[in-house]
Structure 1
């Protein structure tokens, strides 16, 4: 067995294995389905959705995440982030999320109601989780982590030079929200995950989600 390169014209920003097939979302906002040739082992892709419109005013789209929602519908989560200034001209940071669901007509539809599920997104995985029977998970919310690898590298460099695990001095003053948070699609508010904040601060690498078996 050997690794095979699966070339994508527009690159792969996120990928999932769903219903016996690999799907990916490109940096340009197109979802592709992948097929493997049983003889050569090579992979080819086919676009299965129209291109997403990702612009939102002056906010840049930082990341796109792909997940399979209720009933197997494909969902793409768009993360928008922006550096802000407080009254003392100190850097802050804020983010917002948009969810698009692929309809029966093959078109994307933005929604703020994802039902009794929650979405987990981050550097390592994108997952749609049913909240029934899971009282600790809030429905209609997006659980996110800091998945900015450039910031993590800067943090790591500073950690090694100082031989400590203090937070990076160049991070925005409200970097707790940047690191780990829960975004409510209904009201657009972000809540901190207090139980994980201190653990996050002692590590320089981006946090990842570890998902046990979910009924």
Structure 2
């Protein structure tokens, strides 16, 4: 959850329990500016392209657009976040009051599209079709300040023509890393394609379903689960440019059937939800 000052916290949707994360001002590229009453009214955020003319963000704008995706690596109590305009990934330790945000370094200025945590590794997908892998996240946390951290390795690009849309990285139930491509037309999803890291297109995920959106991308078995559909992709609206330009635009939510390519929409064209829905997965043992 992000409050009115763009401060992030973790919230249990069932109990309402809340845990504050380090302040946005502990990020090395963020400097608050105060009004005459001492209240924060602007954040100066250094952007990836060095454009100093567009660094000053009103607090409400930072709340809407600075954080694009956040995930919780629950077994190591680490939160990872995509910052869109600074084109960075940052991590911190939940519940540690002495922690700051630590940047993870990528070799080139690029747009990050998704990130996923699995068995001790953070996987980060970018618009150049690279997947960066970061091992041993706890050792990368720096309490005293920011230190650039390079990926352990970078997985190669996919030989595929691509003209836009969104990219996701997800681990299948069989431990296979998948790249998912989502195509849009007029801000509405019209198709998905799924590939393995070997570049071979995946036509079926069997008795599983993918769940995509602003959350941690998931692949879960759904056999025997009432109402759930196998070999399908459940998606929520995470097209932030469209969402925040027009809060009353039609939300892009539905189920894509990988077998026949059809899409079942969740809501009538006149229905609108703001903020858009999220997926919740219980923290089961």
What TM-score range do you get, normalising by the shorter chain?
0.7 to 0.9
Q: Deviations over 1:126-168 (max 9, x none)?
A: 1101112313211111011121111111223xxxxxxxxxx34
User: What's 1:49 paired with?
Assistant: 155
TM-score by length of 2: 0.56
Offset at residue 5 of structure 1 (A): 0.8
User: What's 1:96 paired with?
Assistant: 191
User: What does 1:54-65 correspond to in 2, within 5 Å?
Assistant: 54-55=160-161, 60-65=163-168
**Higher RCO (CA-CA < 8 Å; seq separation 6+):** 1
CA spacing shift, 1:214–1:134, aligned 2, 3 Å? farther
Taking the aligned partners of 1:114 and 1:49, their CA distance within structure 2 comes to 22
User: What's 1:81 paired with?
Assistant: 184
Indicate which of 220, 228, 233 corresponds to 1:129: 220
CA spacing shift, 1:37–1:207, aligned 2, 3 Å? closer
User: What does 1:9-48 correspond to in 2, within 5 Å?
Assistant: 9=108, 10-35=110-135, 36=137, 38=139, 41=142, 42=147, 43-48=149-154
Q: Deviations over 1:96-149 (max 9, x none)?
A: 0000123xxxx2211111111000111223110111231321111101112111
Taking the aligned partners of 2:150 and 2:255, their CA distance within structure 1 comes to 36
CA spacing shift, 1:37–1:214, aligned 2, 3 Å? closer
- Unaligned residue ranges in structure 2 (runs of 5+): 1-98
- Unaligned residue ranges in structure 1 (runs of 5+): 84-91, 157-166, 169-174
Indicate which of 71, 77, 98 corresponds to 2:174: 71
What is the DSSP-based 3-state SS (H/G/I as helix, E as strand, rest coil) of the residue aligned with 1:139?
A: coil
Aligned 8 A contact 1:99 1:112 in 2: yes
Higher helix proportion (structure 1 or 2): 1
CA-atom RMSD in angstroms: 2.6
What is the DSSP-based 3-state SS (H/G/I as helix, E as strand, rest coil) of the residue aligned with 1:188?
A: coil
